[in-house]
Amino acid sequence: MSEPGVPERWQDPFAILGILTSAKTIAIVGLSPNELRASHFVGFYLRRHGYRIVPVNPREKTILGETSYASLSEIPFPIDVVDVFRAPDAVPEIAREAVRAGAKALWCQYNVISPEGGAIAEQGGLRVVMDRCMKVEHARHLGRMHWLGFNTGRISARR
């Protein structure tokens, strides 16, 4: 049940699992220093599960103990995924920056829906995930979401 403007390939479980298993460095655009905000929950969780988190928030110096950058273009090392917690109209510019930064994937969180931004990233050679939460998808495919009765949709007879 994807939102209008979000093609199925941007929510494809194979693509999502591919990104989650290959990514090492994740820039989180709009990461909040407030530990009660959704972005902070996601950043905390992803760091806990071994990813290097790179906060992108011009108002902060450090978040979750990591240096915060004002924009993607200021990050001085390669990043794998750009995870976006911003209003949808900010996504096209973030997508252009993500392409310039050489990221491998653009990931837009729940309700961050921008077909234009997705198209820009895709044309720049990035994988796109949209209207999905990176924490939830990690927990669904690789984590322990099933411990709390959530419907992961996973069916497998493998050990």
Q: Which is nearer to another protein, 99 or 140 (CB)?
A: 140
Q: Can you name the residues that pair with 67 across neighbouring β-strands?
A: 62
In whole angstroms, how large is the CA radius of gyration of the chain?
Answer: 15
Angle (CA) 111 131 140, round 5°: 125
Task: Find where tokens 């194979």 sit.
Answer: 14
Q: How far apart are CA 67 and CA 90, in angstroms?
A: 22
Contacts with 4 (C-beta within 8 Å, 6 or more apart), sequence order: none
Q: Which is nearer to another protein, 42 or 95 (CB)?
A: 42
Closest approach of another protein to the CB of residue 37, in Å: 7
Closest approach of another protein to the CB of residue 138, in Å: 10
Q: Which is nearer to another protein, 52 or 96 (CB)?
A: 52
- CB-side exposure of 141: number of CA atoms within 13 Å? 15
Closest approach of another protein to the CB of residue 143, in Å: 6
- CA-wise closest residue to 29 among 77, 76, 88, 102: 88
Element (H, E) at 99: helix 91-100
Closest approach of another protein to the CB of residue 12, in Å: 9
Binding residues for another protein, per CB under 8 A? 13-14, 16-18, 21, 35-38, 41, 44-45, 48, 110-111, 133, 136, 139, 141-159
Q: Which is nearer to another protein, 18 or 92 (CB)?
A: 18
Q: Which is nearer to another protein, 12 or 93 (CB)?
A: 12
Closest approach of another protein to the CB of residue 127, in Å: 15
